[in-house]
Structure formats: C-alpha cells, structure tokens
Amino acid sequence: MDQFLPAIPLKDARVVVLGAGEPALNKLRLFRTAPCELVWCTLGVSPTLPSDLNPNTRIDTRARPHDVFRGARLVFIGIEDEKRAIKLAAKARKAGALVNVVDNLPLCDFYTPALVDRGAITIALSSGGAGPILVRDLRSAIETVIAPGIGLLAETARGLRQRVMDAFPSVDARRKYWERALRGPAAQLADAGDEDGVRAALIDALKDDAPASKGVVHLVGAGPGDPELLTVKAARLIRDADVIVHDRLVSPEIIDRARRDAHRIDVGKRQGDHPVPQERICEILIEQAKLGRRVVRLKGGDSFIFGRGGEEVDAVRAAGIEVHVTPGISAALAAGAQAQIPLTHRDAAQAVTFVTGRPKLGGPDLDYTALAAATHTLVVYMGVAVAATLARRLVEAGRSPATPVGIIENASLSTERRVFTTLDALAHTISYEAVTGPAVLVIGDVVAHAPEHLASLSQQHWSTPHENHHGKPSDRWPRGLSDA
C-alpha cells in the first residue's frame, strides 16, 4: 500500500480553491453538497457562480490572497503558473493546510480521489495518479451496486448510536443488532426515501421482542450470461442475498457476485434431465423464505420469458410470502443485439413473436399459420432439437424455404457462435455445425440485415467468425443456402 486514504471531516471546515479555470471548477464541484466553508479564490477574476456548485460558496476575487489560507483544512490550487503555484502552496502549508496542486503530483500533500457520494457514506478510490481512467471505471462499477438509500440509512443510524450503546453494552451485542437492523426492513425503507420509516424500523429492532426478519423471494433475471449485462438492481440483489437458487444457464461469474457466506442451491435442468422438479423448486423457495432469509431465484435471461417465473411467483405468493420480480435482458434480445439483427424493421418485419421449441406436454400446438407471415420475425427458444419439424411446419404453412435464419449459440458469452442459413437448410446446418449449446433461432427477413449474413452472401462461404466443431472455419455452403 503506497498511499493511505484518510476520512477528513468536512463539517465547518474551511476548504479553499484557487483559480478561475476549469481545473478549479472541477475541485469546487467535489464539495457541492458538503457542509464546509467553501472559499473560491479567483485571483483577480470576477466570475459568476455556476449553477452546479455549492450555492454557499464564498467568492474571493483578491489577486493576492493573504488571509484566505488562515484556518483552512484543505487547499486546492488550480493554476498553470508552476512558480506561482509553488509559492501559494508554501503559504498554505505555513497556515497549516494540506495542499493539492492540480496535475502536479510532486507538489501535492494528498491526491484527489474518485468519490462515490451517498451522503453519510463516502467511498474514495485513488491510484496515486498511476491510472485515473481505471479509477474512474472502478467508481462507475461501484456506483452500480450501492443501494440508493445507503446514505439515509447510515445517517439515521448515526443519530441512534448512543441509544444502541445504552441498549447493548457489549460490542458483540451491538454488532449483532446492527447486522439485524441495517439489513432488515430499514434498508428497504431507506431505498424508498422514507426517513421516518427508517428511524422507526431501527428503533423497533432495539426491542427484546423484536419480530424475526421476514423472508422475501426475489425472482431475478440474470440476463444471457455476460455479467456486464446484469441490471444494476440485479447485481445488488445478488450481492445482498442470503440464498441463491440458480439455473444452470446462470454463469459462474454471476453467481460469484454473491456473498461468500450465501447459500447456493443449484436447481438447473437439462433437456431430458430434471434432477429438481419444478414443484420442488417452488418448495425450496418457500422453505428458505420461511427461515427469514432473502432468497434470490436467479434465472438466465428473464424470469417471465420461458423461465416458468409465473408459476414460481404464484406458488410463493400463495404461501403468504413477499415476492418481487426484477427483469433481465432476455436471450432473444441479447442474441439479436450481439448479431446486429433487428428483431423488428420497418422494411422487413412489423411484428416479432417469441416461442419455445419445448411447449408443455399436452398443451396447445403452435399456430404455424400465424407464424408463417412474411413480415413477421419468429424467435425460437430451445428450438435446436425440433428444428426439422419447425422448419417443415413453417414451410407447409406458407413461409418461404429461402427465409434467412440466424442461429446464435451461447449469446453474449466468450463461446458465442453465430451461424446463418435458410429455413429449408436449418436442420442440416444444425447437424453439420454441431450446435449443442443453448441457442436462439431468429427466423425472418430481418436476419439479412446482420453484417455477417451480408458478408456471407458476398464472399460465398460460411458466415461465422467462430470455428466449427472440426476446429477450423467452415468452408462450404450447407445444402439449400444458395437459395438465399
């Protein structure tokens, strides 16, 4: 560790910023919500205070600051004249201040960190000037997992510190209280901005007969597999979960975002292999929630698109347990986006339909007549095993055998593969290319807009940037592709 990041109290502290240009303004913006005495010394310039700065900023236009350093805790110098900056820094240090000279590390007593500001919670990141872009990226990543109400929660807890110390004399007892209280209903109330509710919930948790935490179930769409395609809310729920109940399509990188002590339960299914029946999955969710745990049911894609999320919500709700649903990016949307296939297009398709290749046994068959319309995009989940039947029925219903088809396997993952063919060659292509991973089939004229599909037509060879199952790029057209 080559630097130490102290937390400097700002209440009533004097912070001085010197300079009238953008470097000085950037430093002033750091303190726009701070309860400090903020002095902007413009060194002879008479500026207008920008609207995005602290309205209580005092502007000092003296060209030669004398008394402005007196009592200052922090001084930022944002001027280009290095000789003058050195003199001003010396005067500020003599007055007892810590000095930061913008973009001049050797003259700095401290570095300006990247900040995540949540009121009473402040997170500071610094590379000591080694990699400011990396620090900025880290800050963006952290912003996505910090609950919006964390500052309100911390501020309210600070006001109850003495009351908690009186109620729980031992350190261990206080720790257990805070773990229970800050992770309970107060956290949800803080996210909703209910200041009175947060205080009441923290006080209720002080009682000897405080009710045990109620369990809750969150159905969370984990997206197509790439952790960067998680929603901000999904990432936070995964991090806070006591129990993760996950499918096999959820990548290990996503599951690893859970706490180390979170209980992980694999209920994944494969074609023809359902080790944990759906009824048992619903029972697991209910059992874990009844133990007072925060349960996250993690599903690939979106829970409500061929994820049986509706059945699980019904079961949990019927058991009297609170349940919430957080959407995810569906496999269809990810596959289309990855391959740059517009699922709808004014010149090619005015409608899109999602269907599953494995409907419920004994349930209604697909309406192939409706799905065969030329201006209709058809996206098929779990359709690899039934591709021959699917293609035949669509052609019989009137769809052209030359309709373009995109096969996107393992969408968004490093193992993603994109293969293009036509409806009459679909089954042969799947067999020849050994498509075995989870794949989405996109059927319709919109597929012709994919750059790789266009390249395949001009180059007259198999259009995919990935290797086939023989370990080499495919070098011939599958049967029927020339009809495209």
Which residues are tagged catalytic?
A: 247, 269
Secondary structure element (H or E) that encloses residue 143, with its range: helix 132-143
**Could you say which DSSP state residue 167 is in?**
H
58-60 β-sheet, strand order? 58-60, 37-41, 14-18, 72-77, 98-101
Distance CA 30, CA 34 (A): 8
CA–CA dist 322, 345 (Å, integer): 40
C-alpha 372/C-alpha 442 separation (Å) is 13
Lookup: tokens for 380: 């098929």
Pairing of strands 439-443, 376-381: antiparallel
> Would you call 145 exposed, middle or buried from its count of C-beta atoms within 10 A (0-12, 13-18, 19+)?
middle
Q: In this structure, how many other beta carbons lie within 10 angstroms of the beta carbon of residue 400?
A: 15
**Residue 123: burial class (beta carbons within 10 Å; 0-12, 13-18, 19+):** middle
CA dihedral angle for residue 361, residue 363, residue 369, residue 370, rounded to 10 degrees: -120
Q: In 10 A of CB 183, how many CB atoms? A: 14
Provide φ and ψ at 149, rounded to 5°: -95, 10
Burial of 67 (0-12, 13-18, 19+ CB in 10 A): exposed
Judge contact between 394 and 410, C-beta under 8 A. Answer: no
Amino acid at 189: L
State how far Cα 388 lies from the chain centre: 38
Residue pointed to by tokens 């495209």 = 484
360: left (phi over 0), alpha (psi -120 to 50) or beta: beta
> 277: how many CB neighbours lie within 10 A of its CB?
11
* CA–CA distance, 477 with 480 (Å, rounded to integer): 8
CA separation for the pair 378, 380 (Å, rounded): 6
Residues 6 or more apart whose CB falls under 8 angstroms from that of 99 comprise: 75, 76, 77, 89, 92, 93, 107, 108, 109, 110
